[in-house]
Amino acid sequence: MTEITKDTRPEELIAAVRKIDDRLDLAWLPLLKQQNAMNVEKIGIISHPLHPTDIYDFTKKKWLNNGLKFLNSHQESLLNDFINQIEAVRNSNHELIIPMNKSNPFIKYTDHLAETLQEKNDAYGDSFGKSLDEDGLLVLKIRLGDKFNRISSLIKKGELKENDESLEDTLLDLAGYSILGLKWLKEKEND
Protein backbone atom coordinates (compact mmCIF):
# COMPACT_ATOMS: atom_id res chain seq x y z
CA MET A 1 0.00 0.00 0.00
CA THR A 2 1.33 3.42 -0.93
CA GLU A 3 2.14 5.82 1.90
CA ILE A 4 -0.17 8.80 1.56
CA THR A 5 0.57 12.31 2.78
CA LYS A 6 -1.29 15.55 2.28
CA ASP A 7 1.09 16.29 -0.59
CA THR A 8 0.89 12.98 -2.40
CA ARG A 9 0.58 13.83 -6.08
CA PRO A 10 -2.67 13.03 -7.91
CA GLU A 11 -1.01 10.53 -10.25
CA GLU A 12 0.37 8.62 -7.24
CA LEU A 13 -3.09 8.50 -5.66
CA ILE A 14 -4.62 7.27 -8.91
CA ALA A 15 -1.87 4.65 -9.28
CA ALA A 16 -2.50 3.47 -5.70
CA VAL A 17 -6.23 3.08 -6.23
CA ARG A 18 -5.71 1.38 -9.60
CA LYS A 19 -3.45 -1.22 -7.96
CA ILE A 20 -6.59 -2.30 -6.12
CA ASP A 21 -8.66 -2.49 -9.33
CA ASP A 22 -7.63 -0.96 -12.65
CA ARG A 23 -11.22 0.20 -13.22
CA LEU A 24 -11.08 2.59 -10.25
CA ASP A 25 -10.58 6.33 -10.66
CA LEU A 26 -10.61 9.43 -8.47
CA ALA A 27 -12.45 12.74 -8.79
CA TRP A 28 -11.38 15.95 -7.08
CA LEU A 29 -13.41 18.81 -5.72
CA PRO A 30 -13.98 21.26 -8.61
CA LEU A 31 -12.26 24.64 -9.01
CA LEU A 32 -9.22 23.81 -6.89
CA LYS A 33 -5.75 24.60 -8.17
CA GLN A 34 -4.02 21.75 -6.40
CA GLN A 35 -5.22 18.16 -6.45
CA ASN A 36 -4.04 16.03 -3.54
CA ALA A 37 -5.25 13.72 -0.78
CA MET A 38 -6.82 16.67 1.03
CA ASN A 39 -9.38 17.32 -1.70
CA VAL A 40 -10.27 13.98 -3.28
CA GLU A 41 -14.03 14.07 -3.65
CA LYS A 42 -15.07 10.65 -4.96
CA ILE A 43 -13.91 7.23 -6.02
CA GLY A 44 -15.50 5.95 -9.19
CA ILE A 45 -15.40 2.70 -11.09
CA ILE A 46 -15.70 2.23 -14.81
CA SER A 47 -18.54 -0.27 -14.86
CA HIS A 48 -19.65 0.71 -18.36
CA PRO A 49 -17.28 2.13 -21.03
CA LEU A 50 -19.18 5.41 -21.35
CA HIS A 51 -20.43 5.89 -17.80
CA PRO A 52 -18.21 5.69 -14.73
CA THR A 53 -20.15 5.00 -11.54
CA ASP A 54 -19.33 6.87 -8.34
CA ILE A 55 -18.89 4.32 -5.57
CA TYR A 56 -17.56 6.35 -2.60
CA ASP A 57 -18.05 10.00 -1.61
CA PHE A 58 -15.42 11.51 0.72
CA THR A 59 -17.50 14.63 1.45
CA LYS A 60 -20.44 12.49 2.63
CA LYS A 61 -18.18 9.72 3.94
CA LYS A 62 -20.38 7.02 2.50
CA TRP A 63 -20.61 4.35 -0.18
CA LEU A 64 -22.70 5.16 -3.23
CA ASN A 65 -24.64 3.06 -5.74
CA ASN A 66 -24.01 -0.12 -3.80
CA GLY A 67 -20.35 0.39 -4.75
CA LEU A 68 -19.02 -2.68 -2.98
CA LYS A 69 -20.84 -4.98 -5.42
CA PHE A 70 -18.15 -4.16 -7.99
CA LEU A 71 -15.31 -5.46 -5.78
CA ASN A 72 -14.29 -8.80 -4.31
CA SER A 73 -13.63 -9.00 -0.55
CA HIS A 74 -9.85 -8.53 -0.92
CA GLN A 75 -10.33 -5.44 -3.09
CA GLU A 76 -12.93 -4.13 -0.65
CA SER A 77 -10.46 -4.50 2.22
CA LEU A 78 -7.70 -2.72 0.28
CA LEU A 79 -10.04 0.07 -0.80
CA ASN A 80 -11.23 0.54 2.78
CA ASP A 81 -7.57 0.86 3.84
CA PHE A 82 -7.04 3.46 1.08
CA ILE A 83 -10.12 5.40 2.22
CA ASN A 84 -8.97 5.23 5.85
CA GLN A 85 -5.57 6.63 4.86
CA ILE A 86 -7.15 9.53 2.97
CA GLU A 87 -9.41 10.27 5.96
CA ALA A 88 -6.46 10.03 8.35
CA VAL A 89 -4.47 12.53 6.25
CA ARG A 90 -7.41 14.92 6.23
CA ASN A 91 -7.86 14.66 9.99
CA SER A 92 -4.20 14.90 10.90
CA ASN A 93 -1.36 17.37 10.94
CA HIS A 94 1.11 14.52 10.45
CA GLU A 95 3.02 14.34 7.20
CA LEU A 96 3.24 10.57 7.08
CA ILE A 97 0.45 8.11 7.57
CA ILE A 98 1.59 4.55 8.07
CA PRO A 99 -0.15 2.18 5.68
CA MET A 100 -2.96 0.27 7.33
CA ASN A 101 -3.14 -2.80 5.17
CA LYS A 102 -5.33 -4.98 7.36
CA SER A 103 -5.58 -7.55 4.61
CA ASN A 104 -1.87 -8.38 4.99
CA PRO A 105 -1.85 -11.85 6.59
CA PHE A 106 1.64 -11.36 8.10
CA ILE A 107 0.82 -8.37 10.30
CA LYS A 108 -0.58 -10.42 13.19
CA TYR A 109 2.69 -12.37 13.35
CA THR A 110 4.98 -9.35 13.11
CA ASP A 111 2.87 -7.44 15.65
CA HIS A 112 3.12 -10.41 18.02
CA LEU A 113 6.87 -10.56 17.44
CA ALA A 114 7.25 -6.82 18.13
CA GLU A 115 5.26 -7.17 21.38
CA THR A 116 7.36 -10.15 22.47
CA LEU A 117 10.62 -8.33 21.74
CA GLN A 118 9.44 -5.25 23.66
CA GLU A 119 8.35 -7.37 26.66
CA LYS A 120 11.71 -9.16 26.78
CA ASN A 121 13.59 -5.87 26.34
CA ASP A 122 11.59 -4.35 29.22
CA ALA A 123 12.32 -7.40 31.40
CA TYR A 124 16.01 -7.93 30.57
CA GLY A 125 17.20 -4.67 29.05
CA ASP A 126 19.12 -4.75 25.79
CA SER A 127 21.26 -7.71 26.84
CA PHE A 128 21.53 -9.03 23.28
CA GLY A 129 22.67 -5.63 21.96
CA LYS A 130 25.22 -5.39 24.78
CA SER A 131 26.52 -8.86 23.92
CA LEU A 132 26.90 -7.82 20.28
CA ASP A 133 28.71 -4.63 21.35
CA GLU A 134 31.13 -6.69 23.44
CA ASP A 135 31.69 -9.72 21.23
CA GLY A 136 30.50 -8.76 17.75
CA LEU A 137 28.44 -10.64 15.20
CA LEU A 138 29.68 -14.02 16.43
CA VAL A 139 27.00 -13.68 19.15
CA LEU A 140 24.31 -13.45 16.47
CA LYS A 141 25.72 -16.48 14.67
CA ILE A 142 25.74 -18.52 17.88
CA ARG A 143 22.19 -17.55 18.93
CA LEU A 144 20.76 -18.22 15.45
CA GLY A 145 22.76 -21.47 15.27
CA ASP A 146 21.28 -22.60 18.61
CA LYS A 147 17.78 -21.95 17.28
CA PHE A 148 18.47 -23.78 14.00
CA ASN A 149 19.81 -26.74 16.00
CA ARG A 150 16.66 -26.74 18.18
CA ILE A 151 14.45 -26.70 15.04
CA SER A 152 16.45 -29.55 13.53
CA SER A 153 16.18 -31.59 16.74
CA LEU A 154 12.41 -31.08 17.01
CA ILE A 155 11.88 -32.03 13.37
CA LYS A 156 14.12 -35.12 13.54
CA LYS A 157 12.24 -36.35 16.62
CA GLY A 158 8.94 -35.59 14.96
CA GLU A 159 7.92 -33.51 17.96
CA LEU A 160 6.39 -30.08 18.05
CA LYS A 161 7.41 -29.52 21.67
CA GLU A 162 10.30 -30.52 23.91
CA ASN A 163 11.18 -29.33 27.43
CA ASP A 164 8.57 -26.55 27.38
CA GLU A 165 9.91 -25.10 24.11
CA SER A 166 7.75 -25.61 21.04
CA LEU A 167 8.65 -25.40 17.40
CA GLU A 168 6.47 -22.28 17.30
CA ASP A 169 8.45 -20.67 20.16
CA THR A 170 11.71 -21.54 18.46
CA LEU A 171 10.63 -20.05 15.14
CA LEU A 172 9.54 -16.89 16.97
CA ASP A 173 12.93 -16.74 18.74
CA LEU A 174 14.72 -17.20 15.41
CA ALA A 175 12.77 -14.31 13.88
CA GLY A 176 13.32 -12.23 17.02
CA TYR A 177 17.10 -12.69 17.00
CA SER A 178 17.14 -11.86 13.28
CA ILE A 179 15.28 -8.60 13.95
CA LEU A 180 17.54 -7.77 16.90
CA GLY A 181 20.58 -8.43 14.70
CA LEU A 182 19.17 -6.22 11.94
CA LYS A 183 18.37 -3.46 14.46
CA TRP A 184 21.91 -3.63 15.84
CA LEU A 185 23.44 -3.46 12.33
CA LYS A 186 21.27 -0.45 11.38
CA GLU A 187 22.15 1.37 14.59
CA LYS A 188 25.87 0.75 13.96
CA GLU A 189 25.50 2.18 10.43
CA ASN A 190 24.14 5.37 11.97
CA ASP A 191 26.94 5.68 14.57
pLDDT in tens, 118-176: 888 888 888 888 999 999 999 999 999 999 999 998 888 887 777 777 888 899 999 99
**What average pLDDT score do residues 53-73 get?**
85
pTM score > 0.85 for this model? no
Around 66, how many Cα atoms within 13 Å sit in the side-chain half-sphere? 3
Cα–Cα dist 127/62, whole Å:
50
45 contacts 55 by C-beta, under 8 angstroms: yes
Q: What is the pLDDT of residue 98?
A: 45
Q: How far is CA 125 from CA 118, 147, 191, in A?
A: 9, 21, 20
Nearest one of 91, 111, 93 to 101, comparing CA atoms:
111
Other C-beta atoms within 10 Å of 117: how many?
18
Interatomic CA distance for residues 18 and 53, integer angstroms: 15
Render pLDDT for 102-119 as a digit per residue (tens, 0 to 9): 566 777 788 788 888 888
Band the pLDDT of 20: cuts 50, 70, 90: confident
